[in-house]
Amino acid sequence: MSSKRFNKLPENTSNLPAEGFEKLITEVKKNCTTKFDESVDLSFQINNKQKKTEVNIRTVVNLPGGTGKNVKVAVVCEDNKSQEAKDAGADIVGSDEFIEKIKSGELNFEKLICTPGMMIKLSKLGKVLGPKGLMPNPKLGSVSENIKEAVKNAKSGQVEIRNDKDGNIGVSIGKKSFKDDQLLKNFNAILDSLEKEKSNNTLKGDLIKNTFATSTMGVSYKVKLGKAI
């Protein structure tokens, strides 16, 4: 049963004509009627089913306007790099003992970064980290010798873009409290990344079939993209 708050929101907004995201920001924010600072979210449906192959997107994007979230970052590294990780702002830092804690199920972090030298040991925990999406990946910048940069990116506004088996991608680009230009910059950063991913994949037609914008507890609106991706 819908709440009184939800019943006051506009109805059937997904049936409205698509509009540019810059025009929809005001409407999405207007529907953020809860007491907390709701997230502004994007949902993409991509054309991932091809005759000869299946398109899978997995990358990270550094949002220029930040995410508005305090991400808890853990680092697995050699002892001589521990201080570097701590100075960079990592919340948890460790080596072999930390790996044993992860093995036993202690996953009290949201992002895990690892040095290449320690990845050999960490790779054995695929069954623990994989299902949670926490396994470090060189392509995503979470396996790196440059611990300082990796931690900084994870803390400052880095989000992962990944489609599910049905071709859906969901990503948060900020909060209601963000200025409109912050959200717009983050939106454009996501589109630039998807355009790059399209060029890296061989597919016929457009990559993105549908795009929607919404807030955590709001209703969705169709987004009209400025160009085909």
The burial class, CB within 10 Å (0-12 / 13-18 / 19+), for 201 is middle
pLDDT of residue 55: 81
Indicate the angle between helix axes 21-30 and 180-200, nearest 10 degrees.
Answer: 130
What percent of the chain has pLDDT above 90?
78
> Which residue type occupies 2?
S
- Tell me, what's the pLDDT at 51? 62
Give pLDDT, residue 49.
77
- Decide if 58 contacts 171 (C-beta within 8 A): no
Specify burial of residue 89 (Cβ count, 10 A radius: 0-12, 13-18, 19+): middle
Instruction: Give dist(CA 73, CA 154) in Å, integer.
Output: 7
Residue entry with tokens 């969705």: 220
- Tell me the pLDDT of the chain averaged across its residues: 92
Q: pLDDT tens digits, residue range 49-99?
A: 766 677 889 999 999 999 998 999 999 999 999 999 999 999 999 999 999
Going from the C-alpha of 223 to that of each of 25, 27, 73, the distances in angstroms are 10, 12, 33
What pLDDT score was predicted for residue 77?
Answer: 97
pLDDT at residue 180, as a whole number:
97
The whole-number pLDDT of residue 206 equals: 87
Using 50, 70 and 90 to split pLDDT, how confident is the model at 179? very high
- The per-residue pLDDT for 50 is 67
pLDDT band of 199, cuts 50, 70, 90: confident
With 90 as the cut, is the pLDDT of residue 34 above it? yes
Q: What is the pLDDT of residues 119-175, one digit of tens each?
A: 999 999 999 999 998 999 999 999 999 999 999 999 988 999 999 989 999 999 999
Sequence-separated (6 or more) residues with CB below 8 Å from residue 1: none
